[in-house]
Structure 1
């Protein structure tokens, strides 16, 4: 067993060989500025490194799975990369860290469904489909109901080549707060949960028609609410949008495709930093990193 849950090294002391990083059984944090390091994450100060190390120590299994997945998926085709993420996520669903989080909740898991109208509102004008996440009272959380509605939409887009563009946005105060936490724990068979993600992951389908999809996001984009739109060919963010990957606190890693979609936009080191730190990324930073493609107050959407 390693003596520590993470390894912190100055940039100058990080071995340059790629195989060295792959052999490390812990997250590797490089400290320094203005250089690329053969590490899982790079920070500019010892204080920042210690903050990450503290988070890693609270959820060492999830943190290790995260960096191992990120190391692997940058070398794999998208479909295989998504499979690797899902397998790691399934492992962590049965792990002690996630079980402790589930047990600390005051209420047992329960399905969350229903609202005014469809979970995803659809309209069509010519060859353009306008889709809007439509559970504002739940802050458009990614419930099973929402997942299934998105899968239905994207399967249609893939099959119907007369649809040349999809404009995806969300009703209410924010784009999406991500996975519906009240539903976490409903899937007690983690192997079956992996099979379901292999069949019904909205991000997997979005990736197949990405060149025809534009997402407009606003305010909170948390967890899968950031992971899912990152698959789109183009993402525009409202200036007050922010992006956050809080899964580590739950003993998990991004499981809606974010280890793939986000890392392919901003790189594995910045993705690792987002998860290990749990900090928010502003719209301006997201634009600079490439997590979004534009920042605008609004886009031309039907009322």
Structure 2
């Protein structure tokens, strides 16, 4: 495990973190190197397979261009990077403020469908504090987005809290809820290993539409009727809602700073997550950037 985080300092990696895997939607093999970056530079993705235009894509909420079955970001040159949410969740949980994610393809590898492989790669690389103070985004007023029966709310809180509720017709899932005060140790213990999921009857249609071409029982929990098809079964009885919370952690890190606030998601997904990020940023009176007082940082 990486050394203990200094919560009042920005952090980057000590050395590059490397991994390789298949993109769940494209089916392409992609190699990734998460590189250290200067203080105050934030998180950005660099498409090393593109050399005829700007290939750097900042990981920010306004850069999100699609949210169907994953979060896709793009830059002004039209360069895109897909399925960023699981890696962004790992970077958020480990307190990595500044990094360049260099990849030689259009999609972050799905690995095992969770954030755990990314956590392990980042741990191997290590992290180091930087001289610059870490800025947190503090929610000052509630912000809510609603779409039919789906809802996401961000409200004031003196820490980062995550509550999520899902409901599916399949008895393999049903109604599940999770409510956590999130920090690094809680994310590692409660969310990091929870995998993405899908339904067997949708596979053919998804693949015909250009999705799920790299999906398998090695990287997706697949439900067929009332049954989980994966031979090893579930990692947790409520793995499904915990993965949705993991997704939300990654989507919220596109705010560009760690959050002091409470997230509540009901039947939500990437689209509403990005909608609430944009809604918050569009209301300057509803948030502010703060640094931690020294005594609070030392108390952890």
The bucket for the TM-score relative to the shorter chain is under 0.3
| Structure 1 length-normalised TM | 0.27
Q: Which has the higher strand share?
A: 2
Bigger proportion of residues as helix: 1
Q: Which of these two proteins has the greater Rg computed from alpha carbons?
A: 1
